[in-house]
């Protein structure tokens, strides 16, 4: 789950950088919205890299705490971007009417899909990491199920 979340997060972070650049280049847009999107894009890219790297290292039974923190960070960033920013009053973003707010900063179908995917992956990762079997799995030594202990042709 974490590797998938991290891969999608890299794409999402780059997409939000382009949104922020577009918002900052448009002279009618205030800097508040562009600043929020730059901050969000940096956070998403850092979280995506953390999810990718710790997702891979967790396969080697290391990085449990960092992976859990990255999954929680993914949940917080998803809620902040998909629920908090669109719910902010337009005058708090520096606009004089709700019609002036760009489409990428409003509630829209793409944002709803992004929220469902981001929140679903974050919730699944957190729930799986908090299971007792996951905690036990990371502490036990790796089993060599695929290596035959008695390689003699006569069998055990």
Q: Give tens-digit pLDDT for 112-121.
A: 999 999 999 9
Q: What number is the average pLDDT over the span 46-73? A: 92
Q: How far is CA 36 from CA 23, 53, 84, 111, 152, in A?
A: 10, 26, 11, 16, 65
Helix, strand, or coil (residue 32): helix
Mean residue pLDDT across the chain? 84
Distance CA 76, CA 144 (A): 38
pLDDT at 10: 93
Distance CA 128, CA 134 (A): 7
Q: Please report, for the chain, the start and end positions of each structural domain, with discontinuous segments joined by +.
A: 2-139
pLDDT at 94: 74
How does DSSP classify residue 100? Answer: G
Contact between 51 and 3 (Cβ < 8 Å): yes
The pTM is what?
0.81
């Amino acid at each position: 789950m974490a590797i998938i979340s991290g891969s999608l997060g890299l794409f999402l972070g780059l997409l939000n950088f382009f949104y922020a650049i577009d918002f900052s280049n448009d002279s009618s847009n205030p800097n508040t919205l562009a600043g929020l999107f730059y901050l969000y894009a940096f956070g998403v890219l850092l979280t995506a890299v953390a999810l990718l790297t710790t997702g891979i290292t967790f396969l080697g039974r290391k990085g449990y705490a960092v992976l859990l923190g990255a999954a929680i960070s993914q949940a917080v960033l998803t809620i902040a971007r998909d629920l908090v920013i669109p719910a902010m009053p337009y005058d708090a973003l520096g606009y004089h009417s709700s019609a002036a707010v760009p489409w990428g900063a409003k509630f829209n179908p793409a944002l709803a899909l992004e929220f469902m995917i981001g929140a679903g992956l974050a919730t699944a990762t957190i729930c799986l990491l908090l299971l007792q079997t996951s905690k036990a799995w990371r502490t036990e030594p790796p089993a060599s199920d695929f290596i035959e202990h008695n390689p003699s042709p006569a069998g055990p």
